Structure formats: C-alpha cells, structure tokens
Amino acid sequence: MIKGIGIDLIELDRIAQSLKNSDRLAKRVLTENELEIFYSFPLETRKVEFLAGRFAAKEAFAKAVGSGIGKLSFQDMEILPQEGNAPVFRATGYQHNRIFISITHSRDYAAAQVVIEADNTMHN
C-alpha cells in the first residue's frame, strides 16, 4: 500500500552559487557517506549535480512523509548507490517501509521523486 508520494525540483544554478561561497550546504544536506562520494568527484559540475539530486530527493521524501524538512533532518536520510549505481534511500524511523526513488538531472535542473510503500507484513 502506498503511504506517500513526493517530488521536488531544484535549479542547479542555486546549488552552484551556494558551493561557490562554501561547502556549508553540502555538509548540512549530505551524510558522512554521501560527503565522501561528493568530495571524490573531480569536476565541480558533477558535485553540483550530486548535491542538487540529493537535496531534491530528501525534500521529495519529506513531502511524501507529509512533514517537510524541519521535522525531519537531512542527516536522518541517506541515498547511496547500489549495484549499477541505482540510488537506494534509507531514512531513520522508516526501516519498515519500502522507499522507491528516482533522481534525474538536466542542463539546468535536478529533480527527484519518492514513493513510500508500507510493508505489508507489518501488523498495526
């Protein structure tokens, strides 16, 4: 059973401008594991895409949950690549849910969609 659906879109320019000043946004949005991946990219454009995609995905998750960022921390959500580089979303307190995620980039935008499915084996 679907518990929530969320989507978010962000301009890459906004992220690029923020990164020109400092990496504060990256440290706020990304977990330690995600930061390790972020810092491994040699090209600034790839760093922007990565951070924007993670930002959009975490915002989309918060929308799917219905709480928004604020009640959820960016640090409570993590998106790491699995086999074939497909992103896998994990969130504290949502281990008993299946979380489907899609992240995409264009020249100007990053977008993400999240679907949260309740675990049918859970009995309430």
pLDDT digits (tens, 9 = 90+) for 38-97: 999 999 999 999 999 999 999 999 999 987 676 788 999 999 998 888 899 999 988 889
Q: Is there a domain that residue 95 lies in?
A: yes
CATH number for the domain harbouring residue 81: 3.90.470.20
pLDDT mean over 2-14: 95
Buried residues in 33-51 as b, exposed as e (16+ CB within 10 A): ebeebbeeeeeeeebbbbb
Residue 123 has pLDDT above 50, yes or no: no
Q: Is there a domain that residue 123 lies in?
A: no
Number of domain units in the chain: 1
20 is catalytic: no
Q: Are 51 and 15 in contact (CB under 8 A)?
A: yes
Residue 20: give the domain boundaries: 2-118
**pLDDT category, 121, cuts 50, 70, 90?**
low
* Phi, psi (deg, nearest 5) at residue 27: -70, -25
**pLDDT category, 120, cuts 50, 70, 90?**
low
Please pick, among 3, 27, 63, 123, the residue that the annotation labels catalytic.
63
Q: Is there a domain that residue 124 lies in?
A: no
Q: Is there a domain that residue 84 lies in?
A: yes
Output the pLDDT for position 124: 45
What does pTM read for this prediction?
A: 0.90
Instruction: Name the average pLDDT for the chain.
Output: 91
Q: Is there a domain that residue 81 lies in?
A: yes
pLDDT mean over 102-110: 96
71 is catalytic: no
Q: Are 90 and 78 in contact (CB under 8 A)?
A: yes
pLDDT mean over 25-46: 96
